[in-house]
Structure 1
């Protein structure tokens, strides 16, 4: 009934529908005047697997892994965080298929998590590049919330999360 390939293909198709929205939101972000305290940008994906939703939020960060805030002293400077993609559906399923799907997912979890993350990261990187992400001077990373690795958007490779703070 379910297959790894069809599941991943469906995720890619649903994410593709959100490409214009994400790209336009990233273009806006790339015009921001970031606080001089900002050392890097972290784009965090929050996936809700029981509702099949994803949201992406930008955090301005310093080298100590702290979010940078500006306390409103200069309205022309951005510090803090902002949604670059509101919660959107990345997979659709009929309610009567949920139990079968979750059985399938549990049986294939190792493969599925890896391929889900690759599909989402590749899609995000494509939108980031299309929006002009290479023009940003700050190091930029894509991460999945609560994960131990980061995708370095400038060098196009996965790194251990601790590397970006050193």
Structure 2
């Protein structure tokens, strides 16, 4: 009933429907006047697998892995976090198929399917990050899955351990 290829293709198609919004939101973010105390940007993906939803939020960070905030009076300066994309559906499934999907298909194909999902999310985000002009940013920028220990460097297109990112 379910196949890995079909599932991943569906994820890619659903994400693609939101590419224009992602590109527009990223272009807007890239125009911000970032606070000088910011060392890097983390574009963090929050995945809600039971609802098949993803949201992405940008966090401005320092080298000690702390979020940077600006408390000055200049309203043009950005620090803190910004929503990049709200909860969007990355997969559509009828409720009556959910148990079969999770109990049989997903569990039988895990962890390979998890890696393919992550690759689909990263490919989609990094492609749109480039389309948006992300390479013009003077700040190191990373895509990270919430609570993960590695990050995807959007400029070098490589995975880095968080220890290296924060050093």
TM-score range normalised by the length of the shorter chain: over 0.9
Aligned to 1:120: 121
Aligned to 1:39: 39
Aligned to 1:59: 59
**Structure 1 residues 59-108: Cα deviation after superposition (integer angstroms, max 9, x where no partner):** 00000000000124321100000100000000000011011100211111
SS of 1:163's equivalent?
Answer: helix
Q: TM-score normalized by structure 1?
A: 0.98
Aligned to 1:162: 163
**Structure 1 residues 105-153: Cα deviation after superposition (integer angstroms, max 9, x where no partner):** 1111101110000000000000000000000010000000011110000
What is the CA–CA distance in structure 2 between the aligned matches of 1:4 and 1:72, rounded to whole Å? Answer: 50
Give the drift of 1:33. 0.5
Q: Does 1:147 align with 2:164?
A: no
How many residue pairs end up in the alignment? 166
SS of 2:33's equivalent?
Answer: coil
Q: What's the C-alpha RMSD, in Å, of the aligned pairs?
A: 0.7
Q: TM-score normalized by structure 2?
A: 0.98
What is the CA–CA distance in structure 1 between the aligned matches of 2:6 and 2:162, rounded to whole Å? Answer: 30
Where structure 1 has 5 or more consecutive residues not aligned to the other structure, the ranges are none
Where structure 2 has 5 or more consecutive residues not aligned to the other structure, the ranges are none
**Structure 1 moving runs of 4+ over 4 Å:** none
SS of 2:14's equivalent?
Answer: helix
